Amino acid sequence: MTPKVKLKNTIIHYIDGASFFIGISLCSFSVIIPAYVKHYTNSPLMLALIPVIFDIGTSIPQLFNVYLDKKSSRKETKKNTIRDYFISAIINRISFWAIGFSILFFSQYPSVSLLSFYIFFIVFNLSLGVTQPNWINLISVTVPDEVRTRFTGNREFFARTVGIIASFSLPFILGMAEFPKNYAYLFIAAGFCLTIGIIPALFYEPITVIKKDNHNLCYASFSRFIKIGLNIIWINKKLLGLLMLFWSLSVSRISNAFYTPYIIDSIISKYPADQKNLLISILNIALLSFVALTMALVGKLIPKVGYKKFLAIGMSSLILANTIVVFFPFYWSAVLGQFFLALFVSSAYLVSINAIMDYTEPGLRSTIIALNSNINAVFIAIFSIAGSGIAKIFNFQTALLLAAFFSFIIMIIIVRSHIRPTLTRIVSLWNTPRD
């Protein structure tokens, strides 16, 4: 790899990453999108659909994509990794344009506008699920192995920082017009930022190719592919124990979709109407900043503290996030709650990913990650729908407190759990009969 090619790929990666995080930061799924939907409806079910669509939408295509990638990797034909990434990414990012323009076109028809939002939001997340494995392959063919970990870490830090800086423009964009046109401009701006950064991706230069795979997952039918993956998790008791604890964290979704709506109703509503957009924007900036901070912090401390303890820390953080805004309904508590939410998200995400990396053979990691995402998505859907029922029968506050109560029970289970330290090797699975 020549210095010129290295510099070229690095610049393109940084542009691509920055543009993605700018778009996502402007329309965060935890603050901005729930606030937008709440303008149309206070229905707990409609709000609960946001995390359900995100998790299921990104998980299912990911599993199919990994399976198809395994099947194609045993063929001699050369895989055009850059093309595959560009096509899936451009569809993914243009969908935000569609959300913005549909809001403008149907601004006089609230029901149609909200329906069109959910349709294009589904498209966004399905295409994101397809793009994620393609991005992993892209990294593999454009970044040298010896610097890949450091490079992706630096890239993400740069991209998140740029995204946080860009999110300071939220009050200005939301103040450009009345609802819903202000949110239309916001989604269009996010779509522009998302899309403009993907164009240079056409000019990546591959430095290697995806190696041909010859293990049994490449020859399995889809049902057997899933079965083998589940067996890998099942026989590896250390990994299974950690993932089961991780899946239990989905109880947080009882209240996840209602956190921002509750803050808007109980805290922000007390302030003058002309300050509402500014206060929501500050919450968004706080969450983005705290996620970046806690990702770095948790990443450094996990090797010292251990997976199980950090899962317990994550659950205790969720308990604090929920209870602090209920018992201290002030704006400062809402901002502090964003920190505890960020710590919960960072702990859960980094524990699950690193546990899979530590206790799975390299050639099977993408399969286990995809399976884990789908299993977790099922639990997320169950608890999200249950939470919508609780919020409908009672209110948002009850959902937050019940999530905190169940999280306390899960935290006790995590602390008292005994996970065997022995790692079960899975080499034998590579010799299972082919279909």
DSSP for 146-202?
Answer: GGHHHHHHHHHHHHHHHHHHHGGGHHHHHTSSSTTHHHHHHHHHHHHHHHHTTGGGG
The model's pLDDT over 172-185, given as tens digits with 9 standing for 90+, comes to 999 999 999 999 99
* Under 8 Å between Cβ of 245 and 311: yes
**Please, what are the domains in the chain?**
1-214 (1.20.1250.20), 216-435 (1.20.1250.20)
Q: How far apart are CA 39 and CA 165, in angstroms?
A: 26
Tokens of 388: 């919508």
Q: How far apart are CA 130 and CA 61, in angstroms?
A: 5
User: To the nearest whole percent, how much of the chain has pLDDT over 90?
Assistant: 60
Top mean-pLDDT range of 49-58, 235-244, 361-370? 49-58
Residues 6 or more apart whose Cβ sits within 8 Å of residue 176: 182, 185
- 435, pLDDT greater than 80: no
Q: What is the mean pLDDT of residues 247-251?
A: 92
**By C-alpha distance, which of 341, 344, 347, 350 is closest to 369?**
350
* Under 8 Å between Cβ of 303 and 354: no
**By C-alpha distance, which of 379, 419, 405, 343 is closest to 248?**
379
**Per-residue model confidence (pLDDT) at position 420:** 47
- 219, pLDDT greater than 70: no
* Under 8 Å between Cβ of 190 and 26: yes
Distances (CA, A) of 343 to 186, 325, 398: 27, 16, 23
Q: In this structure, how many other beta carbons lie within 10 angstroms of the beta carbon of residue 161? A: 15
Tokens of 166: 């860009």
Q: What is the mean pLDDT of residues 243-264?
A: 93
- 301, pLDDT greater than 50: yes
* Under 8 Å between Cβ of 312 and 351: no
**By C-alpha distance, which of 170, 325, 331 is closest to 258?**
325
State the amino acid at position 349 in one-letter form: Y
Q: How far apart are CA 377 and CA 51, in angstroms?
A: 9
Whether the full predicted model's pTM is greater than 0.75, yes or no, is yes
Q: What is the mean pLDDT of residues 305-331?
A: 94
Q: What is the mean pLDDT of residues 387-405?
A: 96
**By C-alpha distance, which of 44, 11, 7 is closest to 257?**
44
The model's pLDDT over 105-160, given as tens digits with 9 standing for 90+, comes to 999 999 999 999 999 999 999 999 889 888 878 888 898 877 776 788 788 889 99
Residues 6 or more apart whose Cβ sits within 8 Å of residue 50: 29, 33, 34, 37, 121, 257
Residue with tokens 């309904």, as numbered in its chain: 329
Distances (CA, A) of 375 to 251, 369, 381: 14, 10, 10
* Under 8 Å between Cβ of 129 and 61: yes
Tokens of 199: 């164009």
Higher-pLDDT residue of 46, 362: 46
Per the prediction, the chain carries an average pLDDT of 87
